[in-house]
Amino acid sequence: MTAETADLDRLLDGDKPAWDRFVGRYAPVIFAAVHRRLGPAGRGEDAEDVAQDVFVRLCARDFRLLRTYDASRARITTWLTVIAGSAAIDHLRRQRGYTQPLDAVPEAALAVDPVEPVRLQIPDGLLSPRQTLILDMLYMREMDVAEAAALLGVDPQTIRSTHHKALTKLRVHFRESED
């Protein structure tokens, strides 16, 4: 058990000094995550209020939210950053009045104009016949790696490797043609 985990256990048991250490240690992390979301939206002045709301959420109902933290899945700073970011997004939605359920929004308002994909013109000889075949299988025929490997009778890693090499060649070629 790490000192951080032990401190968290004491906090959950109601130890006030453990809570004070928790707030002192993670307030900058939470504030930074909140400000990172609110600042670009022009709501940076709300960051302290939202950060305080995060701490209220964490300790509400006998630390119910904080008890959901699982150290095996993420570091506490990562978990708190996600919680703080979600709180900031919730705050922005409330400020903008976007509390309407998605089902209530007319479908026409959610529609996106269709975009025709642009087919790349790959110069002859740039890719090997095998690379061309694998790109065709993965992108045009929409096969997954396992299907392509089974059809060609090769290991799936061979498909992934050939795919990677082909994309690398294409990136180099199109990067050079932009210059």
Give the predicted TM-score (pTM) of the model.
0.52
**76 or 111, which is more confident:** 76
Go through the chain and tell me how many residues it has: 179
pLDDT: is 30 or 3 the higher one? Answer: 30
How does pLDDT run across 152-173, given as a tens digit for each residue? 999 999 999 999 999 999 999 9
Domain boundaries, the chain: 3-96, 129-178
pLDDT tens readout for residues 73-98: 889 999 999 999 999 999 988 887 65
What angle in degrees, to the nearest 10, is found between the helix axes of 16-38 and 3-12?
A: 100
Residue range 19-61, pLDDT digits in tens: 999 999 999 999 999 999 998 888 889 999 999 999 999 989 9
| C-alpha–C-alpha distance, residues 148 and 161, integer Å | 13
What's the token pair of residue 117? 């994909």
For residues 7 and 25, is the Cβ–Cβ distance under 8 A?
no
Q: Given this structure, which CATH class describes domain 3-96?
A: mainly alpha
Residue 39 phi/psi, 5-degree rounding, is -55, -55
CB atoms inside a 10 Å sphere around CB 81:
19
